[in-house]
Every structure is written in C-alpha cells, then in structure tokens.
A and B are shown apart, each in its own frame.
Chain A
Amino acid sequence: MSVAADLTSMSLAEAGDRIAAGELSPVELVEATLSRIEEVDPQLNSYIHVSGEQALAAARAAEGAIAAGYHLGPLHGTPIALKDNVSVRGQVSSAGSKVLQDFVPDEDATIAARFRAAGAVFVGRLNMHELAYGVTTNNPHYGAARNPWDTGRTPGGSSGGSGAAVAARLCAGAIGTDTGCSVRLPAAFTGIAGLRPTIGRVSNYGITPLAWTLDTAGPMCRTVEDCALMLAAIAGFDPADRQTATVPVPDYRPELARGLEGVRVAVVEDFTLTGLQAGVEAAIAAAIAELEAGGAQIREVPLVNLGPSISALMTVDVAEPAAYHAAWLRERPEDYGDDVRALLEAGELYLASHYIQAQRYRTVLRDQFDEVLRDVDAILTPSVPFTAPEVGATEVTLESGETLDIISAVMRYNAIPPLVGLPALSVPCGFAEDGLPVGMQLIGRAFDEGTLFRIGHGYERATDWHQRAPSL
C-alpha cells in the first residue's frame, strides 16, 4: 500500500485526531486524497467537480492556523466532499442537472458555512441522481456513478457519488441529502454508514429542494463515529431555515462510549426479516444476534398500518417536486432527463386530495412510531431488501418473484423514516452471497440521533465490516 493510500484509509476521526496532535499534515492528507481521486475516480465517476487548487489552499490555511494554535475541532484540516445540490459560494452548484448548470451561488448553504467554520476542506462536488430525484445516480448529464465494490453495479442514489467516494477513500466524509432514501440507500449499497437526521435537525438553507416536507441532509462516512462528528458540526437551529428546531445539539462522543449494554432494540414482526434476498436476511439476522451478544435487549414488536407507506411517500415525493419545478418544466422541458421529466409531468396530474391524504397518513404513522419508541430505543430493519442492482437497471425482481420498478423496490424500509420525520442510521452489517455490502437501518426517537450513534458504534466495535475496503 502506498503512503498516499495509507493516509486516505484513515477514518475522519483518526485523521482529525492526528492533525490535532500535530502528527499529520492537512496538506499531505489533501494531496493524498486528490491523488487518489485522480487515480481511482475514472472508474467510479463519483465527482462532478474536483476543487484541487481551492482544497490545497484551504489545507495550507488550516495547517497554518493549527500551527499558530487555532485548532477548530475534529474536522479541522480533513478532506470532505459535498453533494452537488449543496450551494458553495462561487462554485457551480448544479444539483446534477442541466436546469441549474449555470447556477453559481453567491453564498454558502448553511451546512457548507458550518463546515468551513469547523475547518473542513472541500475537495469537490459529488455526482448525484439528477435533482436528487431518483435512486440510481444514473445521471444523463454527468454520467452514471458506479459502485466501488463492483463497477458494474449502481452505488444507489440519489447521493450515489457520496457513497462511492467515501467507500473508495476519495474523501474522509461526505454529505448526502435524503428525501425518500438518498442517504441510507447509497450508504447500504456501498458499505458505509449514513445518517438521515430528524427533520428539523439540519438546515436545508442553500440546498436545492426536492420535496420540502421530506428533505434533509445528512453525513455519509466510513464509520458511525465519523457521522457523529460531521452531524455535530452542521446540526442545530438556523434562522435562515424556519423548519429547523431549537432543540440543543449534544456532544455525541460520550454517547458513543456507552456501549450496547441495556439498549432496547425492536425488530418488527412479519417485516424486519421477510421478503429479503437470502444473503441480506442472513446478514441482518447475524447483526441482531451480534447486538444481543453485546448486551442489547432485542424485542419483537408489531407495527400495523405500514402497507400504504411506499404509496404515501411516492405521493408526497411526486406532488411537491412538481410544484417546485412547474415553471422550468414549461420553459425548458428538454433540459430534464427522461425519468425525472416523466415524474414531474405526472406530478402535475395529482389531485390536492391525493396529497392531503398522504400527509394525513404520515400523522397516523408517526403516532404509531412514537408509541413504540416509548418502550424501545430503536427499531431495526434492513436498509434495503437486496444488494446493489446493475447500472442501468430500472426494475428489480424481489425474492418473492415479484418485479417492481426500482424506486418502489428500494422504498420498502426506506420510506418510513422520511414519512414520520424520525432519524435513521444505516450501518454496514456484512456482505451477501454476491459479495456486495448489506446495511441495517436503525430508526430512533426524534432528535435522539445520539442513541442511534451509540448502537451503531457499539455494533462497529464488535465487528469489522466497516473496515473492509473495495479493491480499487
């Protein structure tokens, strides 16, 4: 292994600790990251734009500041990357689209500004499904992103570039956005950790909207601990986004150290372990056993009314984007990719009553989850019922033999957290019979991301799935 590869294989937490201790130069780390991007990314297409010169300048500034005694915290001097729908002052922020290909914001998104304040170094902008409106990152304008575990497979989406880049060690951590699945799905498909925070935990200001009542941004990293560090840097009330909550943001590191002993984890009857690809079922069952062996109390709970969840998610996630894109769809429809354009046009034909009933359903579901989460700390499901399909796939055949469009197929477990607004963490928990990664999803109480980090980190301490790296 080369020195450069050695540097990029460090977790964000380890790199941050070594930088703080004066043992690692941010400039050398960023140089190693840029070098690896140049070497590996032609196989993955995970980046839309690499900011080499700007990143090196920021790394030199970080190095100078730290040497002068101004250390800004665990992210200072670490190389991270943002999904292309997050505004960065002076950089084209196209959201993976042609519609916004000339959009150069004159201010940072709130999360970008907070990362800058924490001293993080932006190495580039990550590929994504066009406008975050899809699950494959098969982008018609910037090319398909590919899965580092098998470049013939999709990394998922919409934050597929984020998943691929983190898994392949092309940045220490990344930001994804999650409307219906778009942090957790690519995290699971690429074998990394990804958190969808509680709605209201992280500001959406300066992030291209998809569906206002579902959207949220979250960290995607190789470890749960790294996700906690990134969330701590960006979470909290933002006067520019009235949907953000005034709930205080805790220090997550003490929570990580608490371990699994006594934590209560629910599996859902006739849901958590049904209809799965054989290798996914085996990995999830083993993860449940591992949690129990570590001291977690596993309980089986019934959850009813889950049936309409995919339909309700799709209804909201079709109606709201149609509203946002209505003017552009009339002025420049040819600038949209085929799949996105079809969904936006279909969204014009929904009735208000469809939308309202879907929103009412969210309240039914949320009340039920709040009740279950009074007695348990987290609800465990797979992140996805199957492993990554081939690049270009539009349908998936499930274990039952049923063939579904790929969006509906990936939503079985993913749809629930956005509908109820609760946080959900995808944690790598093994590999299926096809050699591809499997993720488990932990759903928690509102604004209690800390408990999810505690469980995920406790599980990672007992396993080594998060340390496996694709051979690129």
Chain B
Amino acid sequence: MADERTVDEVMVEQLARLAELELDAERRAIVAETLDGLLSEANAVNRFMDARREVGPGVRYHHPDIHEDEW
C-alpha cells in the first residue's frame, strides 16, 4: 500500500536516478534553460489533450496501417 513514506521513497529513488547524471551547477543551468522552452511546450500539449480526456482517443502504439490484420 502506498503510504506517504513510500511515496517519499519512490521520489528519492527517482531523484537518485537523476543524480546519476551528476549535473554540476553549469550543467544544471544549461538543462534549466533547455527545459524552460521544452516543458512549456509539453505542458501546452497536455492542456490541449486534457480537453479531450473524456471523449478523446487513446494511444495507438502502432500506426493503423501496419499489420492491420494483427490488431
């Protein structure tokens, strides 16, 4: 069962994986600048698709033209 402590542990694990990148202050600044634009773009897609949460499509993991007989 996911209690608060376990969630914290998961977050720590996730951060530990990111820490493996060993980003120093210079790298963090570069990544922050890169992320600034990219994540705002990703969030824009989220907002667009969120409006289609109830009626919108799911994800096609293969294009519909490929192996139609198998899907």
Question: A247 to B65, Cβ gap below 8 A?
Answer: yes
- Contact residues in B for A307 (Cβ distance below 8 Å): 48
Q: How far is the CA of A394 from the CA of B17 in the complex (A)?
A: 31
Check B21–A345 contact: CB distance below 8 A: yes
Contact B38 A348 (CB under 8 A): no
Chain-B contact segment, one of A113-121, A153-161, A221-229, A309-317: A309-317
Q: Assess the B38–A318 pair: CB atoms within 8 A.
A: yes
Docked pose: A329 CA to B37 CA in angstroms: 21
Report chain B residues within 8 Å CB of A346: 31, 34-35, 38
Q: Check if B62 is an interface residue, CB within 8 A of chain A.
A: yes
Known: A346-B34, A364-B52, A446-B65. A315 touches B21 (CB 8 A): no
A354 and B65 within 8 A (CB)? no
Q: Is B21's CB under 8 angstroms from A348's CB? A: yes
Contact indicator A345/B23 (Cβ below 8 Å): yes
Whose C-beta in chain B lies nearest to the C-beta of A357? B49
Residue B25 is within 8 A (CB to CB) of chain A in the complex: no
A463 at the interface (CB under 8 A from B): no
Known: A200-B66, A447-B65. A354 touches B58 (CB 8 A): no
A315 cross-chain contacts in B, Cβ below 8 A: 38, 41-42, 45
Q: Does A105 contact B (CB under 8 A)?
A: no
Chain A 323-355: CB-based contact to B (< 8 A → 1; otherwise 0): 000000110010000100011011011100110
Cα A358 to Cα B60 in complex, Å, equals: 11
B5 is an interface residue with CB less than 8 A from chain A: no
Query: In the complex, what's the smallest C-beta–C-beta distance from A333 to chain B, in angstroms?
Result: 7
Tell whether, in the assembled complex, residue B59 and residue A349 are in contact, meaning their CB atoms are under 8 Å apart.
no
Q: Whole-angstrom distance between the alpha carbons of A357 and B66 in the complex?
A: 22
* In the complex, per-residue mask of B40-65: 1 if CB is within 8 Å of any chain A CB, else 0: 01111110111010001111101111
A363 within 8 A of B: yes
- Contact A311 B44, CB 8 Å, known A346-B31, A346-B35, A360-B58: yes
B residues less than 8 Å from A354 (CB atoms)? 39, 42-43, 45-46
- A343 to B48: give the CA distance in the assembly, Å: 23
In the complex, which residues of chain B have a beta carbon less than 8 angstroms from the beta carbon of A360?
A: 49, 52, 56-59
Contact B42 A350 (CB under 8 A): yes
Q: Of residues 63 to 105 in A, which have CB atoms within 8 Å of B's CB atoms?
A: none
Contacts of A314 in B (CB 8 A): 38, 41-42
Instruction: Knowing A312-B45, A330-B20, say if A364 contacts B56 (CB, 8 Å).
Output: yes
What is the distance, in angstroms, from B62's C-beta to the closest C-beta of chain A? 7
Query: Which residue of A is nearest B37, CB measured?
Result: A405
B18 at the interface (CB under 8 A from A): yes
Which residues of A are found within 8 Å of B60, using beta-carbon distances? 362-363, 366
Given contacts A357-B49, A363-B59, contact A311 B41 (CB under 8 A): yes
Q: A392 on the interface (CB 8 Å rule)?
A: no
Task: Verify A308–B48 contact, CB threshold 8 A.
Answer: yes
Residue in B closest to A445 when the chains form the complex, CB atoms: B65
User: Nearest 10 A-B pairs (CB), nearest first?
Assistant: A311-B41, A354-B42, A363-B57, A357-B49, A200-B66, A346-B34, A359-B59, A446-B65, A421-B63, A342-B34
Q: Give me 30 A-to-B residue pairs in the complex whose CB atoms sit less than 8 angstroms apart, sorted by A's number.
A: A200-B63, A247-B65, A307-B48, A308-B48, A310-B41, A311-B42, A311-B45, A330-B20, A333-B21, A333-B22, A342-B33, A345-B23, A345-B30, A346-B38, A349-B39, A354-B39, A354-B43, A354-B46, A356-B59, A358-B42, A358-B45, A360-B57, A360-B58, A360-B59, A363-B57, A364-B56, A367-B57, A405-B37, A421-B63, A446-B64
Other 10 A-B pairs with CB < 8 A, given A354-B42, A363-B58: A200-B63, A200-B66, A314-B41, A342-B34, A346-B31, A353-B46, A360-B52, A362-B59, A405-B37, A421-B63
Q: Which residues of A contact B (CB under 8 A)?
A: 198-200, 243-247, 305, 307-308, 310-312, 314-315, 318, 329-330, 333, 338, 342-343, 345-346, 348-350, 353-354, 356-364, 366-367, 405, 408, 421, 446-447
